[in-house]
Chains A and B, each alone.
Chain A
């Protein structure tokens, strides 16, 4: 069975500082990995995805993530955050064995302070 662990429930940072949101997963088969962002009172928006190929994937709004198979991690990074990046971020995993249903982590609340 799949599982996703987001190691930090809250991450406060100052504007223009770099940030890393950590995600570890467990799965017995090859996986696909995703980061979604949820702004207050809204649905989820896809930030980026790893399906295959290069382990460094770039997404929208300047975010990127690196797939590390040996460490079963998929950490999200941004070199310089803005106030508008304040939101909840969810890491998710899917695989063929689960018919590609998404299993989400509990989320990390990123708060960017001026």
Chain B
């Protein structure tokens, strides 16, 4: 069975641009979460979606937005990119919101120049 898939795997943007990252959860999983991992740090929570509704939002500016589609896939959008947005963006899925056990994708590595 396919795991969590993310695209693109790598991308380079310049300051001020916008980026969209995509995530397909494990088949049957209804929840998708997004995390930002800056080099040398642990992942930081950005968003959590369950059954297409936002269930949680981390301490990130409004430049960050996300949505979950009827097929449970998800997109993360970041507007007006800053140098500090350079990071590995991880998508994770789970069947339900019951314990916090998450299954992670390989991530999308964003470099902002």
Contacts and interface: CB of A to CB of B under 8 A. Distances in A.
Interface of A: 4, 32, 34, 36, 42-46, 49, 51, 90, 92-95, 98-107
B56 A98 contact: yes
Given A98-B56, A101-B56, A102-B45, A45 B104 contact: yes
Contacts of A46: 101-103
B99 A90 contact: no
A93 B98 CA distance: 13
Indicate the size class of the contact surface on chain B.
Answer: 20 to 34
Contact of B100 (A34, A43, A90): A34
A94 B56 CA distance: 13
A104 B58 CA distance: 13
B99 A43 contact: no
Contacts of B100: 32, 34, 92-95, 100-102
